[in-house]
Amino acid sequence: MAQKTVLIVYAHQSGGSFNSAAKNIAVEAFTLQGYKVIVSDLYAMNFKATATMEDIAGDVKKPEEFKYGDETMHAWMDGRLSDDIIAEQRKLEEAELVIFQFPMYWFSVPAILKGWIDRVLTQGFAFSLQNMYDNGKFKDKKAMLSFSTGAMEKMFLPDGLHGDMNVTLWPLQNGVLHFCGFQVLAPQVFYCPAHCPLEVRTASLEGWRTRLVTLLDEQPLTFASCGMFDLSFSGGFKLRPEVWEEQSACPHGLSTGHHLGKPLPPNNQLKAGDSKGDAV
């Protein structure tokens, strides 16, 4: 059998950071399991975060009304994307699993990692209007977020100061990863390591090491299937009437985003769930 590949897209400035330790443990654990591990250390690479005309070799089609998405799609088709983008796309093509390792900034990812998302996941390569969500380009690949927060876990509860972590994660896990077709594994959330005692940080990292042994056997998170929607302009890309009817007796919505005006499925973005979106 061919050697399987794991890609870790890592975004932290310091080699002495907690995120660096989490990244190193993943490298060690997967290497011991016989996987090929590729690390894109974005800060060490000085990866360009801004999406500009420089990402395209040669002339653009409409410089006077430049549209990044359209132009990079055509450049991808023609093999004219910049070398750094092409290199990352090749890594992504090779990988069965992608782990994004980062500290949460402003309820999202650091700018350099957002730049990786903006520039590497180009239209055509990572998605198309015909290939998205559960029909997406990367439906045979798995991906997950592994990140640290600056606040305590209780602050990210539904009644906590920062609000429900499930809601915070929906744009990244559904709007980026699931949109591109990835099977999204439950995130690894390291709450507030900077203010935890050493023994707590150590236990968190050892828990991560243990999880990595069977990570690829885990069931992915649950999202609403494209088949539940009328994927036409006349139907407005909205939930099919018969699905509404089927869901009428369910106590929860389909997912964190497709809540249907009901209570959110418990921990829909934090734990694998059943077909109705309820955590198991």
DSSP string, 37-71: EEEEETTTTT------GGGBSS--S-GGG--HHHH
- Domain boundary among the residues 176, 204, 220 is at 220
Quote the pLDDT of residue 168.
97
Same-domain check for residues 158 and 245: no
Residue 23 has pLDDT above 70, yes or no: yes
Same domain? 170 vs 188: yes
Residues 194 and 234 in one domain: no
96 has a pLDDT exceeding 50: yes
88 with 204, same domain? yes
Q: Tell me the whole-structure pTM to 2 decimals.
A: 0.94
pLDDT at 276: 42
Domain end residue (candidates: 220, 239, 261): 220
174 lies in the same domain as 38: yes
Last residue of a domain, one of 220, 245, 265: 220
Q: What is the pLDDT of residue 1?
A: 65
Does the pLDDT value for residue 228 go beyond 60? yes
- The angle formed by the CA atoms of residues 26, 27 and 33, to the nearest 5 degrees, is 90
Say whether both 191 and 257 belong to one domain. Answer: no
* pLDDT, mean of residues 62-88: 94
Query: Cβ neighbours of residue 50 under 8 Å, at least 6 residues apart?
Result: 115
